Structure formats: C-alpha cells, structure tokens
Structure 1
C-alpha cells in the first residue's frame, strides 16, 4: 500500500488487531462502527485513533472517498452501506488475510467449509505439533491471523478460513488449502447462496504449481471447484486419496490407524480426521505424528459432546451446530433422539433437517426460529416449543425413552438468547446437570 488511510469498517477483535499492526508499520488508520462497544472505544483511545460511531450512508461514502482501501470486519453484510460505497467509488476491499500475507512469509495451511472447520484446524495443529513442527491456529478464531504473525515462534499457521474473510481476500494464497464441504449458511451476510459459494471457492483462486489443494471428493460443489493446477489431494469416507477402508484410515497406499483405536469415530468425525490428516501431511507432518494425534483426539466442546446420562437417556451438547447440515450429521451419530433446535436463523432454509426425521422421536423448538422449526417437523413427529433452556431440557427429558439421546443441535445461531454458541452450550450443560444430578 502507498501509505494512504485504511478504513476499518467495524472495530471489534479482528480490526483492532489490524489497526495495531498498521500503526506499528507507520500506516494511517480510520475506524468506524455502527454500534461500537465500550471496549472498542477504549481500544481506539489507547491506539490514538478516532473511532467514528454510527455513521450514516453519507458519512460512510465520505469515509470511503478518503480511504485507500477498505477492511471490513468479518461478518459485515454484503448489503452494508459501506460495501455499496466502496463498489461505487472503486475502492479496493481487502481482508486481514491479505495483510498477514504481505507481512509474513511462513507457510499457511488454510481450512474452509460450512461445517467442521474448527475441529479440523485443531486436529491439524495437533498433528503438526506431534510431528515436531511448531504450529499456531489463527483466523476465524480468538486470534486473527494478523495478530498471530507477530509471534516468531510458529513454523506454520493453521488458518480457519471463513467465507467472511475469504470473500474479501485479493491476494491470500495458502500453501495448502482445504475445502471440507458446502451447505447453505450465512445468508444473513452473503447476498445469495451463490455469493456464499464464490466466497468459499476463492480459497483456490490463486493456486499455483506449488500449491496443494485438499478436496472433499464426495461433495459435488467442492469437487466441481477443484483447481486445475498444483497438486490436488482428495478425501472421502469410501473413495479418495485419504479414505476409510477395511475398518481403517488410509493415507493413499499407507494404512494409518484402525477406526477402533479412535475415540471419536462417527461418520462426520472420520471425515474430519481424513481431512485433517491430508492437510497435515501436505504441510509436512509425518505418519507417526498423525497417528499419535488421532489416538489422543477427544473432540472439542459443544460438538456432540456427551454431558451425562440418566435412566438410559444420554444428553449431548452440540451447540456449535448452526446449520441443518450439521444437525443431520449429529442426529445420525447419536441414534434415536429428542432434538432441541432453534435460535436465530441466519437466513437459511431449515427444511433439510427433515432428512433425519426417522431418527427423531420428538422436537423441542427454542428461540426466535421456534415457529420455523415447528413448521419443518409438523405432522412428522411431535413438536413442542420451550420458552427457556431450562424448559427445553425438562421437556426433552420427559419425551425421551431409554436408549434415546437428548440432543441440543440448534441449526441456528445463538444470538437471540445468548452471546455465543459456547454460552448456549454451557447453559444447556448446566441445566442437564441440575436435572440429572452431578456437576459439570
């Protein structure tokens, strides 16, 4: 960049890290936010920059006109006035990934997909570390990539690449790029399903002969976007370079591990393990390190995590499931279930949840999307609406029979009742323990 001002649209964790890095490098920064939080105001004061609060459309246009580039906060809707202003003015829009790539040359192993990103990223990092390669997780996590590159310790970065960041990236090119799967999501941010697909596919837009692309060969959308250059590696439960065969995970011609040795071995978990193995080995991990990490892997919180059991009924926290695709995978993994679903819809059709109705004994609908959940399952299985998580847990427990699972797998975001999916999952866990006894 030539030194002109960089406009930060939104001033939360990521853009606060961007501002600090730009200022350290002598750049000029202007920040604006529709509704800045108190900590954002304090951070702006500490950095010595002005933070424009709640600008109207005319003010956004003026800010864009004065800026060299625009860096939107991840998750800023494509229909936001600042995006329209940038398009009208021809002002380039870039992401934190672009800046991190300009500032640091260490390898990046990037993972995108509608579901499973966080799990696969954490598994890859564990495999790299078990292989003696210092790795840091960054991106769509608590640590933005622009912040992570300040640490000289990691030899490589394992990047959770959301559509929010990829869709605005102009030069980001990871050495290894994996696309796990595709299903409707984030239509409250992207203008259409096609725009969401394009954002995901941009992971591979800048591959070259040295790039390695990890492709879910069983997902037609992902497979159709596979690059024509560089090395392409496929994974799948039955077919692919990395696959399950004869009760074992295989890396091309080498048997890695029997599935019986894994602590998490449901189909979607095996797919995650295959994808992580493909990414890690492309990034330099060795077979022994991959095996060690697979054996030790116990999963992440709020992903089909067993909370407790009473009278033959198991209670699972799958609060991270915020799409119908993820809900279906969870239901298939636990068997007959009383499903707790709902929350704040992200603009997507909840109808695909009906695909697993044969494994759903009944549904407890929660949150803003409760009426939508009811419509999906009406006439197919019993549906009740709960006004709180405590009510939902009690109602689900009353409906469950021995051998069933009570499954919190919402298919929606948490921001109607909670500040995050983790807060929602923690409250569910608390309510379950109060119901069945014991402690979290």
Structure 2
C-alpha cells in the first residue's frame, strides 16, 4: 500500500468503508494515524473494530482532527457531514487528497489525472497500457475501481494514472497533476450540483490545481470543454494546453479495441498524454494496436458465423450509446433497462447504422415506440430473447451489440452483471448452435 509517516499522531475520521474507504483506513493506520471509522453497514464497522475506533463522526467533537475522509458516494450537497466538519474547521477530503499529501514522500514520479463525462475509464486504461508498453513503472487507480492508496508505491520514474470523477475532485484540493485531461462534458450527476454549470466547475478544478508548466489536455468534441481549455490557456499560457485533433491520428483500423469516433478521440488524447510523458511514436502506435479494451465497454465478446458480438453494457445513458452505434455500419442493437431519459435524441444521428433494434427491460415499450419510425423493432423484453432473435436475423458482417442507453437496476444488480449475463448468453447460444446446427428456438434461453 501507499502510506507515509507524516500521518503519525494525526487524527482522521473515515466515513464510508467501501473500497476507497478501506484503503484510506489501511494507509492511515500504517502511517501511525489515529482513525475513527463509520459506515451504515454494521458488518463493515465491525470488521475494523480491532484497528480503529468505531463512531459516527456526526456525533463527535472534531476539534483537532486533521480531516474527515469520505467516500465519493457521499452527497456533500445533502449529507450533514459537510456542515458538521466545517463547524470545527476540519476539511472534508477523499483518498485522492491523502495521496496528494503523500506524494512528497514517494520516489520521484509523475501523475496523470483523467476526467470527463464519458470515456474516462477507457482513456485511463489506454494511457496505463501505453506506459507499460514503453517500459515505464506504472499504476492505475481512482474511479476505475482501484484505490490508489491500496497500490504498491512505484520506484523512481514511475507514472500514476488516475481516473477521477467529479465526486473525487470535489474531495481533492492539492493534486497538481503533471498531466491533467478533460475529455468531454455533458450534463450528468446534476442531483449533486447547482445545475450543469456547477458540474462543469467541479470538473474544471482538476486543471485549476495544476502548476505552471504542467500539461493540460482537452478533447475537442464539445463547446463546453473547449471553453474551459480557452480559460486555462488565458490563465497559464498556450504552451501548457494541448487540444489533439482525432482526425490527424491515422491507423484506427489496426486498433481492434478502439473502434468508433469516440474511441478515436480517446486514442488521440492518450497519444497526447504519451507524448507529454516522452513516449516515442513507434511505442505508442504499438500500444494502440495491442490494447485490449475494458470489460463492458465496447468489449468484443465473440465472433461466430461472421457476426461480431459486442458488450457495451457500461453505456448507461443515450450519450454514451450514441458513439457506439457510430462505430459499425450494420448493428443489431439491444437496448433498454431502467431509463435515465425519456428520449434517445443523442442516438438519432447514428440510426442509419442500425439494422434492427431489440428492446428489453422497463424502457422496452418506450424505446420501441421511439425507434419504430426509424427501423425494425422487436420487443424482446428479456436479454436472452434479444440475443437469440438478433442471431436469427443477423448475417455475416453484422454486429450484435448490447448498448442499453439505460441503467441496469430493473433486471440486473449493476452494469457489470448485465454485461456478464450477455457474455454468458452469447457463449451458450453459440455452443448450442454448434451442436444443433441452428440458433435455438424461442424459449430455449
């Protein structure tokens, strides 16, 4: 784990004991801090009773505490912990702020921080991969699901690649990234902010924490991101600002896991990061070709009878599904779930790529009505039926894609469970077809 003796004798409260909370407790305790922990789940509290004091920080006099470390999932605009800590002059921080405090005690290194509304995880994983291909010691962490404090510290010359959500940035005050990235912006998480402007300002703070001479990289796909790039350039000078042009990056046909216009932008940004880190073109081009995408994000699951099966279960809103539909010319589109919007407007420009749609879940009837004027629609209801029906209708060269444009919670625990179900269904139906010589009939799922 990453820790520091600078925590010795300091007092911290940790609220929320999921992955980042547990890593924070371990790092603080190892550094000699006195830690008080709390979680709504009794079993989570009990698991740490032997290493920390168990008490709700809302009931504590926080005088003398160095900080309250909260989970990014705690809504600071509604949870009373923010006001309670402020009454004692105690900062509310996250695990990334603890990492920022530790940096001076680590071997010389660089940090790449990546944020944006969509594409963060793919870009983070790609930058990490390019560093690995270049032979740079590297760790990946943050919102991608790997708490950075739980990772082993890197030797000198290492690169920490961090995916950062707006929630994590809200809890961070001193992370000066050597390279900071803002991929794109569109309305999201507005229940946590004072409108879209508040959400944009939260993202922009990642750039504001940088120092002069550090590199700021921006996507060019939307006006709001470019407006922030202009502000940063005006404040710090254009030498620090890079806005890579995806159209200038050749070779995408040779990068199997980076198809579609959104992934071309992700690749262009990752290349700009690689260049800022001093990685040569021959190295990053080899890395683009060898990159294997993340699970549930345009994941190539299988190919059978000339048909490619793609798991894009992470696409939980229309804005993230739209570029997936633009990635292939002939798509059998499986969509639906728990809707986040009552329209699919952002997907309309790519409807010409859809051969047929198969609607599932709670949004199924709504989506079927929206899509019927544009394409053939089958009201499948269940994921297994949708895959089976798409297999019956597909022909060589087609793509069967799960890109739901919806949350998963009507039928699945989370988007990972939905994507894993898709994988399992595809594998089973392909095996059954190999045995029987045809796609199983209705009801065979």
TM-score by length of 2: 0.82
Residues 372/70 of structure 1: CA separation in 2 closer, same or farther (3 Å cut):
farther
Which residue of 125, 139, 158 corresponds with 2:142? 139
Paired position in structure 1 for 2:242 = 233
8 Å contact from structure 1 (residues 184, 323) kept in 2:
no
User: What is the DSSP-based 3-state SS (H/G/I as helix, E as strand, rest coil) of the residue aligned with 2:48?
Assistant: helix
8 Å contact from structure 2 (residues 62, 85) kept in 1:
no
Paired position in structure 2 for 1:25 = 31
1:163 matches 2:169: no
Structure 2 unaligned blocks of 5 or more: 1-6, 434-445
Q: Distance in 2 between matches of 1:372 and 1:65?
A: 50
1:177 matches 2:180: yes
8 Å contact from structure 2 (residues 358, 378) kept in 1:
yes
Alignment deviations for residues 23-68 of structure 1 (CA, whole Å, 9 cap, x no partner): 22232322222345x4x2453235333165xxxxxxx643485655
Q: Distance in 2 between matches of 1:348 and 1:193?
A: 19
Alignment deviations for residues 249-275 of structure 1 (CA, whole Å, 9 cap, x no partner): xxxxxxxxx445433443222222211
User: What is the DSSP-based 3-state SS (H/G/I as helix, E as strand, rest coil) of the residue aligned with 2:93?
Assistant: coil
Paired position in structure 2 for 1:129 = 132
1:300 matches 2:294: yes
Residues 335/83 of structure 1: CA separation in 2 closer, same or farther (3 Å cut):
farther
Indicate the larger mover: 199-208 or 350-359.
350-359
The 5-angstrom pairing of residues 37-436 of structure 1 reads 38=43, 40-50=44-54, 52=56, 61-63=58-60, 68-83=66-81, 85-86=83-84, 89=87, 91-105=90-104, 106-148=109-151, 150=153, 152=155, 155-187=158-190, 189-190=192-193, 192-226=195-229, 227-228=232-233, 229=236, 231-238=240-247, 243-244=248-249, 248=250, 258-263=251-256, 264-310=258-304, 313-345=307-339, 350-370=344-364, 373-374=367-368, 376-377=370-371, 379-398=373-392, 400=394, 403-436=397-430
8 Å contact from structure 1 (residues 346, 413) kept in 2:
yes
Deviation at 1:212, TM superposition (A): 0.3
Residues 285/328 of structure 1: CA separation in 2 closer, same or farther (3 Å cut):
same
Indicate the larger mover: 365-374 or 425-434.
365-374
User: What is the DSSP-based 3-state SS (H/G/I as helix, E as strand, rest coil) of the residue aligned with 1:301?
Assistant: coil
Alignment deviations for residues 138-184 of structure 1 (CA, whole Å, 9 cap, x no partner): 11133212223645577120111122211221111111001111223
- What is the count of residue pairs matched by the alignment? 414
Residues 69/348 of structure 1: CA separation in 2 closer, same or farther (3 Å cut):
farther
Deviation at 1:80, TM superposition (A): 3.5
8 Å contact from structure 1 (residues 86, 92) kept in 2:
no
Structure 1 unaligned blocks of 5 or more: 53-59, 249-257
Deviation at 1:367, TM superposition (A): 3.6
8 Å contact from structure 2 (residues 35, 52) kept in 1:
no
8 Å contact from structure 1 (residues 108, 175) kept in 2:
yes
Paired position in structure 2 for 1:254 = none
Q: Distance in 1 between matches of 2:9 and 2:196?
A: 36
Q: Distance in 2 between matches of 1:149 and 1:209?
A: 29
User: What is the DSSP-based 3-state SS (H/G/I as helix, E as strand, rest coil) of the residue aligned with 1:333?
Assistant: coil
Deviation at 1:350, TM superposition (A): 5.0
Alignment deviations for residues 56-85 of structure 1 (CA, whole Å, 9 cap, x no partner): xxxx64348565533221232344423553
Paired position in structure 2 for 1:57 = none
User: What is the DSSP-based 3-state SS (H/G/I as helix, E as strand, rest coil) of the residue aligned with 1:81?
Assistant: coil
Q: Distance in 2 between matches of 1:64 and 1:431?
A: 54
Q: Distance in 2 between matches of 1:430 and 1:321?
A: 19
Residues 16/51 of structure 1: CA separation in 2 closer, same or farther (3 Å cut):
farther
Residues 261/309 of structure 1: CA separation in 2 closer, same or farther (3 Å cut):
closer
User: What is the DSSP-based 3-state SS (H/G/I as helix, E as strand, rest coil) of the residue aligned with 2:83?
Assistant: helix
